[in-house]
Amino acid sequence: MKGIARVAAAAALTSMVAGHAIFAEFEVNGVSAGKENGLRLPTYDGPIEDVTSAAVACNGGPNPLVKFSPNVINVPAGAEITARYIHTLDTDWRTGLIIDASHKGPIMVYLSKVSNAATAPIPSSGWFKIHEEGYNSATGKWAVDRLIADRGYKFTIPTCIAPGNYLMRVELIALHAAGSYPGAQLYMECAQINITGGGSLSPATVNFPGAYAGTDPGIKFNLYTSPINYTIPGPRPVTCGGTQPTTAATTARTTTTGAATTRTTTPATTTSRAATTTSASTGGQQAAWGQCGGIGWTGPTSCVSGYTCKELNAYYSQCQ
Ligand SMILES: *[C@@H]1O[C@H](CO)[C@@H](O)[C@H](O)[C@H]1NC(C)=O
Ligand SMILES: *[C@@H]1O[C@H](CO)[C@@H](O)[C@H](O)[C@H]1NC(C)=O
Ligand SMILES: [Cu+2]
């Protein structure tokens, strides 16, 4: 390799490594739980790129989880959480690098109920989304741009979440190399929380791995096109008080603003796997990618046309 090319390659590698990040601290209604407290952490800040690996749930795999907090953090339903991503565990979020600005993409939050968040094995099932933000075409900003500008990412725990222990999966997807798969860089860590108060929401759930495919338009995505039309992967977030996302027509969020959103609806038959995980449909048939069996399951056990109920483990069967 000639000198210039070698320098360019080294620079690209440096900027890629500099871009990595870890979700290593969070605040509950403005009060920090403490750096690294209530979290299952790797020491290395690298991404997960294989969306079919077990590590897509709560990291691990190439980034072994070696810092495992014994603590569960109480979080009142309705609380505002601030997630602090930092470049490495040594970074101070107040002054240091959050994540390289090249690492543009969405931020999402999922929960999975467990009996004891401090000791539970990382669940592959039971995940539901409570928050998502992608690209805002009005401002030209991605969720990651806001994270960097604010030195932290704020979201709210919906008030209707049932009380109890959960693993809270905060996920940032960096799309700078996502034009082919694997390429998207998924940065997630799981927090150990105990939701207090709350309601009785019993949402449909997805699996990790399972919720994403390498072909999803939110995973295989060319960041360097214009205009940007980005579909956030996974199911739509749960909502309180209203109806849950339905199966008849799924919504593909194309833009996200702080409050207002623009959605486009598409028939279920043409939607991607990413957009179709929803609550039970009418007529006793479960929607695509929804749960259809398993120990303790009382919902529908047959699937909508074109899908069959497959047992993934004793606790979870899925329409696929
Ligand atoms: C969760 O919070 C409830 C309500 O405050 C409390 O009774 C329970 O002991 C907590 N559980 C854990 C594991 O912290
Ligand atoms: C945006 O992307 C989605 C998913 O790839 C696609 O279904 C939709 O047609 C696109 N919309 C536009 C306006 O290109
Ligand atoms: Cu990186």
Ligand 2: residue whose CA is nearest its atom 7: 271
Ligand 1: residue whose CA is nearest its atom 3: 196
Domain end call among 138, 172, 207: 207
Q: Is residue 245 part of a domain?
A: no
* pLDDT of the chain, 320 residues: tens digit per residue: 334 444 444 444 444 556 799 999 999 999 999 999 999 999 999 999 999 999 999 999 999 999 999 999 999 999 999 999 999 999 999 999 999 999 999 999 999 999 999 999 999 999 999 999 999 999 999 999 999 999 999 999 999 999 999 999 999 999 999 999 999 999 999 999 999 999 999 999 999 999 999 999 999 999 999 999 999 999 999 999 865 554 333 333 333 333 323 333 332 222 233 323 333 333 577 776 666 787 666 778 888 888 888 875 565 577 77
Predicted TM-score (pTM) of this structure: 0.76
Ligand 2: residue whose CA is nearest its atom 9: 229
Q: Are both 133 and 41 inside the same structural domain?
A: yes
Give the integer Cα–Cα distance in Å for 69 and 207.
24
Q: Are both 29 and 178 inside the same structural domain?
A: yes
Contact between residue 292 and residue 319 where contact means Cβ atoms under 8 Å apart: yes
Check residue 296 and give its pLDDT.
62
Q: Are both 58 and 201 inside the same structural domain?
A: yes
Q: At residue 109, what is the residue type?
A: V
Domain end call among 179, 207, 235: 207
Q: Which ligand is nearest to the CA of 162?
A: 1
Q: Is residue 270 part of a domain?
A: no
Sign of the Cα torsion 21, 154, 220, 228 reads: negative
Contact between residue 197 and residue 112 where contact means Cβ atoms under 8 Å apart: no
Q: Is residue 114 part of a domain?
A: yes
Q: Are both 81 and 197 inside the same structural domain?
A: yes
Q: Are both 203 and 82 inside the same structural domain?
A: yes
- Residues 231, 235, 238, CA angle at the centre, nearest 5°? 120
Q: Is residue 67 part of a domain?
A: yes
Per-position DSSP letters for 267-291, written without gaps between them: EGGG--GGG---S--GGGEEPTTSE
Q: Are both 28 and 177 inside the same structural domain?
A: yes
Q: Are both 172 and 294 inside the same structural domain?
A: no
Coil/strand/helix, residue 246:
coil
Q: Are both 188 and 314 inside the same structural domain?
A: no
198 Cα–ligand 3 center, Å: 36
Question: What token pair was written down for 206?
Answer: 């997805």
Q: Which residues have CB under 6 Å of ligand 2?
A: 217, 229, 231
The residue whose two tokens read 């609550």 is: 279
Residues spanned by the domain of 148 = 22-207
Ligand 2: residue whose CA is nearest its atom 10: 229
Q: Is residue 116 part of a domain?
A: yes
Q: Is residue 275 part of a domain?
A: no
Q: Is the CB of 71 under 6 A from ligand 1?
A: no
Q: Is residue 274 part of a domain?
A: no
Q: What CATH number does the domain containing 109 carry?
A: 2.70.50.70
- Point out the ligand 2 atom lying closest to the alpha carbon of residue 217: 5
As for how many domains the chain has, the answer is 2
Pocket test for ligand 2, best of 231, 253, 273 (most atoms within 8 A of CB): 231
Q: Is residue 78 part of a domain?
A: yes
- Residues 256, 261, 266, CA angle at the centre, nearest 5°? 100
